[in-house]
Amino acid sequence: MEITFLGTSSGVPTRSRNVSGVVMKLPQRAELWLFDCGEGTQHQLIKSDLRSSQIRRIFITHMHGDHIFGLMGLLASCGLAGNVEQIDLYGPPDLADYIKACRRYSHTHFSYPLRIHPIQPGIVFEDEHFTVTCELLKHRIPAHGYRIIERDRPGQFDVEKAQALGIPFGPLYGKLKQGESITLEDGQVIHGPDLCGPTEIGRKVVYCTDTVFCDNAISLAADADVLIHETTFSHQDADMAFQRMHSTSTMAAQVALSAQAKTLIMTHFSPRYAPGNNLQLKDLLTEARAIFPNTEMASDFWTYTVPRRRSDQPRPNRSQAVGAKSKPSKPKKKAKSPAAESSDSDA
């Protein structure tokens, strides 16, 4: 499971960062899942090693332009390429009307089935391998965070041990690997778990944007292997974050800490922290790591591989993670950034 960031800027693109777009690559099923699709996302895909023809599902958090302005262009290009079988699109109820209007006025026809699923808190997708849920966050308009849960898998099957026990190669191996018990011709009963290594715990990836600090983000991120959380502002600009309903570096870190996540990845940065300003992105990273040390800062085209956990590794208690809530504090003294105000309200 690999996560590639196609856009990590808030509001407007910069020379080095495009607006929101995150891809989850699922090699075992040759699929890409896209989370948000800001302007220029298809250009970022072309520059990356990812193939747009593998996009199977798209999850939109909310209807602000820096999260959806690239969607129609990408969908149209996928249709022109003619190598997409089907795309399922998940997002707010208004998303269907947006797509309908874009198709109508641009006279766009898709050569593949596009299924649009209006979301509400709870399960939005589920199959034999994954469950995706969403929760309402706290932003100026309705915005949802997503939680992707991979199902647990049996541990590695010990073929040599099975052969030593005289188990004939074939369908019995499959049953044992699935944890079943079998009886050999001599009456010997073999239990699957005795021939398998530790269970591979399903991974959990959480995507929270746009939002100010809120309890739903903590519950959504409980015990997450990776929490991707918006970090639009520095802690020193907390007043602005509260006004615009966005998160600071310390808010994101407090969510990760309270949720007992394993890794925090910050994204969705305001352009005001560009090199040369008094406050820069490295300062946001320092602020977050002071609260949650295992914090990373995403950049465009950076890929993070989500590691697996085994059943013999420590696993936080979910009820403790959900209950361990803390409120963000405002800075004692607010530093003024020399960066010019952007026309976008999120910058």
Contact assessment for residue 188 and residue 111, using Cβ atoms and an 8 Å cutoff: no
302, two tokens: 């950076």
What does each C-alpha distance from 229 to 93, 184, 220, 336 come to in angstroms? 23, 52, 11, 24
CA distance 211 to 190: 52
Annotated ligand binding at 62? The verdict is yes
CA distance 301 to 41: 11
Contact assessment for residue 285 and residue 298, using Cβ atoms and an 8 Å cutoff: no
81, two tokens: 């390429």
For 236, other C-beta atoms within 10 Å of its C-beta total 23
Which residues lie below 8 Å from residue 254, measured CB to CB, with a gap of 6+? 213, 291, 292, 326, 328
Annotated ligand binding at 64? The verdict is yes
Q: Tell me which amino acid residue 273 is.
A: Y
How far does CA 7 lie from the centroid of its chain?
A: 13
CA distance 227 to 306: 11
For 214, other C-beta atoms within 10 Å of its C-beta total 20
> Which residues are known catalytic residues?
66
Annotated ligand binding at 268? The verdict is yes
77, two tokens: 């290009």
Contact assessment for residue 215 and residue 221, using Cβ atoms and an 8 Å cutoff: no
Residue stretches of the annotated binding site for Zn(2+) = 62, 64, 66-67, 139, 210, 268
Residue stretches of the annotated binding site = 62, 64, 66-67, 139, 210, 268
